[in-house]
Chain A
């Protein structure tokens, strides 16, 4: 089973699941902050809303479209309020 790091926490997740599912199963449901600073979480589950963005191995991706891989480093965008 792939082992990955979510905000510094090591977890395992079954192959074939998405990084979004891994984050939510680990209780990490707020994923980013809005421009006004409120917590936001995933909405569409299918790649259209972009609300599930997180930084995976240094790249901002939609986590609902990203399968888990061994050794992945995943960081939520909670510290960022004004994104480029």
Chain B
């Protein structure tokens, strides 16, 4: 007998997924909300408590207390298959979080809210401990890393650098500088677009106050990180001058990349920039599968919340609640376009790998080893680039930027698993 399906399964408990789950449950659906992280909140609200003030606290509280929503944290989708009546998701529940093992879930509707990952670009020294993602260091500090007194250089591109610098400083880090590859005109255009969004100018002022005294350098390139066994300094280029800063952390990221791996397994078509393609109701090209938030394009928390709401309404048939949505979506879309243009990556300002620079960290594949290949598949087969533990999640976007190779070939399982778990028959997780 086929197990009973959930009316809706939401993958990802960031702003988009939380909003989609609450909205779908308000529409009467029985919802399973699952996320690989130990607690709900996604990248921006990670570690935020349901008791706190503001939108994050309210949404976390509502979701935790709603009788129609089952929350499963520490649960990662590793396989997904689209079906006619119901879609099948396979989940691994992490050791130490809930009962470890594989579970299989049937879902009539799936809402993908898997967010984004950071784009890392290789340069000499980027494999040293202490060189971390910008959002990565923010995530680590939100999950308990003590950054008090640590000297941090924040570098790369995008507004996330500012949020990270302010967040780390608030936690007691000494932020030595923020180095942005985009030029001043781009940064200014973004600032003006953000100020026009409702509620954003107050947020921008608070951010600026949190960064008083921290140098912000536009037109600035990362050259190399140095150290023996651990990061000791970073060299940046401003104009024709190179300068070296001694630091404990280099927090570096070149924007965000939609995390479309579960969408790819379900067969959802992507758009030209590699985000999940959706219509005005957040429906993907696969029947019964919706997507919301940064998996559909990078646009920040407000866009994610709006899309989560639309997806939740659409999945539960509450079309009457969507009267204002197209207008709000248009405002968000314009903001997203400005964001993309303002922080477009400029080849001359990106870190330059040398032949010795490692590109694939898992398999130690160097820039020099990858010369001569014209596509991802050939390089992968010959050099093992992208075949290690991260399955191309780090070097895939890097190769896309460096060589123009679109990362392909997403396969289940999405993360390496112990053989014993793979051999075990998965248990079924049915609605209560």
Q: How far is the CB of B19 from chain A (nearest CB, A)?
A: 20
> Given contacts A41-B128, A43-B361, are A66 and B133 in contact (CB under 8 A)?
no
Question: Which residues of A in the span 30-79 have a Cβ within 8 Å of any Cβ on B?
Answer: 30-31, 34-36, 38-51, 53, 56-57, 59-61, 64-69, 72
Query: Is the CB–CB distance between A61 and B364 below 8 Å?
Result: no
Cα distance, A40 to B131, chains bound together (Å): 10
Category for how many chain A residues contact B? 35 or more
Query: Is the CB–CB distance between A65 and B145 below 8 Å?
Result: no
Cα distance, A30 to B314, chains bound together (Å): 47
Kindly list chain A residues whose C-beta atoms are within 8 Å of the C-beta of B138.
45
Query: Is the CB–CB distance between A31 and B139 below 8 Å?
Result: no
> Given contacts A46-B136, A48-B117, are A38 and B145 in contact (CB under 8 A)?
no
Query: Is the CB–CB distance between A49 and B145 below 8 Å?
Result: no
> Given contacts A43-B120, A48-B117, are A66 and B38 in contact (CB under 8 A)?
yes
Which of B118, B120, B140, B364 makes the CB contact (< 8 A) with A24?
Answer: B140
Cα distance, A20 to B137, chains bound together (Å): 11
> Given contacts A34-B127, A45-B136, A66-B38, are A18 and B143 in contact (CB under 8 A)?
yes
Which 4 interchain pairs have the tightest Cβ spacing? A17-B144, A41-B129, A21-B144, A45-B139
Provide 14 A-B residue pairs closer than 8 Å at the C-beta atoms, listed in order of the A residue.
Answer: A16-B144, A21-B143, A25-B144, A30-B230, A35-B364, A42-B140, A45-B135, A46-B117, A48-B117, A50-B388, A50-B416, A57-B95, A61-B94, A72-B96
List 9 other contacts, CB 8 Å, given A16-B39, A50-B390: A20-B145, A21-B145, A25-B145, A25-B146, A50-B415, A59-B418, A65-B37, A68-B144, A69-B96
